[in-house]
Amino acid sequence: MSAIVEVTGLCKSFGGLQVTRSVNLRVEQGERHLLIGPNGAGKTTLFNLIAGDLPASSGNIALLGKEVTHASTAARAQLGLARTYQIVTLFGRDTLLHNVKLALLGKSPLRNRHWGAFDHDQALSARSLHVLDTVGLAGKAQWPVEQTSYGEKRRLEIAMALAQDPRLLLLDEPLAGLSSQERETITALLRGIDKSITILMIEHDMEVALAFADRITLLHNGEVILAGSRQQVVADPRTREIYLGH
């Protein structure tokens, strides 16, 4: 299998504080790969480094076989990377439809058009409605985001990421703060994502996450402690000691 993302010797320091320490990570095509570790382990920092939201102090990042260590966030998105965030980042006063249109524009030639209003582009509107329909939100397309529930905001954020036709999807705690019913809805949504999209996910709901993951990487104090299949990592005593607490 070919690697969608490969991280080698990745380090990140903020002054004298080293947050990521020589991390090696390889995620294969179509894989559902889970990052676990206690708070402060460096999971979100690793996401930010892979996405280009933070520059690496040292080490290398390859995306779809291309070196991207010093590439911009936009360049990585054009290669096929999309992500969600631990804290929902949406345009609250705009409609759900408008938010999805903005996501679609990120990889559309329309973003370079300096005349006309994209709001009236029928093809863009139709595609945005289709994207919302895939996450069960087409009926609320004209609602302002700020009037939707937290679970619906999470679904919208995933829809916006999927709208970009990603090859690699980074999901940062997509189930955090959700009710049991909302977790079931989003879990079903994630399971329905086509295997052509590789998923790297941070999640603390271990019951759901472990059922979802093919492979798991355990981080602690910015270092990879172990990586392997779901069965291997769960059975390892280091996982119980560092993360599961027993």
Phi (first) and psi of residue 171, to 5 degrees: -115, 115
The per-residue pLDDT for 152 is 94
Where in the chain is CATH 3.40.50.300? 1-80+166-246
What is the Cα–Cα distance from 154 to 222, expressed in whole angstroms? 27
The per-residue pLDDT for 114 is 45
- Angle, alpha carbons 217-206-146 (nearest 5°): 105
Helix H or strand E segment including 77: helix 73-79
What is the Cα–Cα distance from 43 to 132, expressed in whole angstroms? 29
In three state form, how does the secondary structure of 164-225 look? Answer: CCCCEEEEECCCCCCCHHHHHHHHHHHHCCCCCCEEEEECCCHHHHHHHCCEEEEEECCEEE
Between the CA atoms of 206, 208, 209 and 211, what dihedral angle is there, to the nearest 10 degrees?
110
Sequence-distant (≥ 6) Cβ neighbours of residue 28 within 8 angstroms? 1, 2, 3, 4, 198
Say if pTM beats, i.e. exceeds, 0.85. yes
Domain range 1-80+166-246, CATH architecture:
3-Layer(aba) Sandwich (3.40)
- Angle of helix 122-134 relative to helix 96-105, nearest 10 degrees, comes to 110
What is the Cα–Cα distance from 60 to 188, expressed in whole angstroms? 34
The per-residue pLDDT for 115 is 44
Question: What residue ranges of the chain have pLDDT lower than 50?
Answer: 114-116
Compute how many other C-beta atoms are within 10 angstroms of the C-beta atom of residue 68. 20
What is the Cα–Cα distance from 92 to 151, expressed in whole angstroms? 14
The per-residue pLDDT for 120 is 66
Q: Which two tokens stand for residue 134?
A: 């895939």
**Cα atoms in the Cβ-side hemisphere of radius 13 Å centred on 10:** 32
Question: What would the pLDDT profile of 20-32 be if each residue is shown by its tens digit?
Answer: 999 999 999 999 9
